[in-house]
Amino acid sequence: MTDLELTWLRSWLEVVDSGGFARAAARVHLSQPRISAHVASLEKALGCPLIERRTRPLTLTDEGKRLLPRARSIIAAVDDTVSDMRSTTSVAGRLTIASFASASSEFLPPLLKRLREKNPLIEVGVLDGDVQVIESTLSVRRAAVAIRPYRPEPADHALVRRPLWREPFVVLAPLGHPILAQESIGLEEIARYPVITIGDPLDTPILGYEASLAMHSSRLEPEVGIVSHQPTTLTAMVRAGLGLGLVNLLAATMARRDGLETRLVDDPHLYRDVGLWWHSERPLSRVAQAFIDLAVASERPPGTLPIPD
């Protein structure tokens, strides 16, 4: 019987998850011929092809589909065994977390501090992005877990979630702006001014997703909209007088607000539910499970609410 090498399995999984040999080689910092050789050796050892090389995009053979869940389980078991042998009181290994900027800023730091205090051998990477980037990193296994808004619903239905918090939205306005005369502001008043929101400028050029959904539900549309990826850019635009900022609470909290004031938005359609997500078809490492357990037990960020059942 031919021995199998873990490196072959790892390389094959990278090819599957990244959708090609070149991308897999770039992600694991090996040459493409080396990755191809690993996959070829694995196929030779098993006596069957695992990847259909005549079709694009990358497609698994029936044998490859059968192997996939077993290969993931093998790699997870090996990684957990190494972690167990290194320490009997803590877990070890690498954890990559996908998140959005305001959650990374206002929720992750104290959580990761507690995680590292309990498990000093854990290596952590944080990848910030919008909802599409977060979903993609989970789907292709660049991240093991993610913090992501509920909306829009992910296209990958294998992603599962645990609730974390509900965020209200706030208005950011320059000092002295007439809208600040009210303590709580409705969308109808906001829509009278140019509006600046967080979102994907390539996907929603007028408003970010949640703001757009709430405006549509209230049958409102601002005359002018600006969409930015980053809260710091948004606040700079508001400070320059380009419009009112309409953002989730944590985004307003993390950004520099000198020269600005905030007010809560009073609208039942405008909120952000945030959850902890992972891929249900892939085994979680002990490191990922330790993070999940700690995250769901952590206190919510100040000003946020529990998500209704």
Q: Which of 53, 85, 117 is the last residue of a domain?
A: 85
The reply to whether omega before 201 is within 30° of 0 (cis) is: no
Q: What does the pLDDT read at residue 286?
A: 85
Q: How much is the pLDDT for 274?
A: 98
Cis omega (within 30 of 0) on the bond before 152?
yes
Q: Residue 88: its pLDDT value, please?
A: 55
Q: What is the pLDDT along the chain (309 residues), one digit of tens a residue?
A: 457 899 999 899 989 888 889 888 887 788 999 999 999 999 999 999 999 988 888 899 999 999 988 888 788 778 767 766 665 567 778 899 999 999 999 999 999 999 999 888 888 999 999 898 999 888 877 889 999 999 999 998 889 999 999 999 999 999 999 999 988 899 999 999 999 999 877 776 678 889 988 998 889 988 788 898 889 999 999 999 999 999 999 999 999 899 999 999 999 999 999 999 999 877 788 889 999 999 999 999 999 999 998
State the CATH number of the domain containing residue 77. 1.10.10.10
Cβ contacts of 247 within 8 Å, gap of 6 or more: 169, 170, 172, 197, 198, 231, 234
Claim to verify: residue 173 and residue 259 sit in the same structural domain: yes
Q: Would 305 be classed as within a structural domain?
A: no
Same domain? For 213 and 97 the reply is no
pTM for the model:
0.77
Residue 50 lies inside a defined structural domain of this protein: yes
| One domain, residues 144 and 53 | no
Q: Is residue 302 part of a domain?
A: no
Amino acid in the structure at residue 301: P
Q: What angle (nearest 5°) sits at the alpha carbon of residue 236, between those of residues 233 and 241?
A: 130
Q: Which of 203, 251, 248, 208 is nearest to 226 (CA)?
A: 208
Residues 105 and 227 occupy one common structural domain: no
Q: Give the domain extent around 287.
A: 91-165+272-297
Residues 56 and 146 in one domain: no
pLDDT at 64: 92
In a domain, 150, yes or no: yes
Output the pLDDT for position 300.
96
Q: Note whether 188 and 142 are same-domain residues.
A: no
Residue ending a domain, choose from 85, 114, 149: 85
Residue 226 falls within a domain, yes or no?
yes
Following DSSP, what letter does each residue of 269-308 receive, concatenated?
Answer: T-EEEEEEEEETTSPPPHHHHHHHHHHHHSPPPTT-BPPP
308 found inside a domain: no
Q: Are residues 80 and 103 in the same domain?
A: no
Per 3-state DSSP, the chain is made up of helix, strand and coil in percentages (nearest 5) of 40, 25, 35
Residue 188 domain flag: yes
pLDDT for 161: 95
Residues with Cβ within 8 Å of 174's Cβ and at least 6 positions away in sequence, in order, are 238, 239, 241, 259, 260, 261
**Domain co-membership, 114 together with 252:** no
Q: How many domains does the chain have?
A: 3
Rounding to the nearest 10 degrees, give the CA dihedral for residues 258, 260, 261, 262. -100
Q: What pLDDT is stored for residue 208 in this prediction?
A: 85
> Across the chain, where does the E strand assignment appear?
51-52, 59-60, 93-99, 122-128, 145-149, 159-174, 184-185, 195-198, 225-228, 244-248, 260-265, 271-279
Shared-domain flag, residues 220 and 247:
yes
| Strand pairing category for 122-128 and 260-265 | unpaired
Quote the tokens at residue 96.
């990559």
Instruction: Give me 261's structure tokens.
Output: 């004031």
Whether 210 contacts 198, CB under 8 Å: no
Looking at the fold, whether 105 and 247 belong to one and the same domain comes out as no
Task: Name the DSSP class of 228.
Answer: E
Whether residue 76 is found in the same domain as residue 210? no
Nearest Cα residue to 177 out of 266, 233, 254, 259: 259
Residue 78 belongs to some domain of the structure = yes
What CATH number should be reported for the domain holding residue 146? 3.40.190.10
108 & 185 share domain: no
CA distances from residue 225 to 25, 88, 215, 237 in whole angstroms, order as listed: 41, 55, 12, 12
Domain end residue (candidates: 67, 85, 103): 85
pLDDT (0 to 100) of residue 112: 96
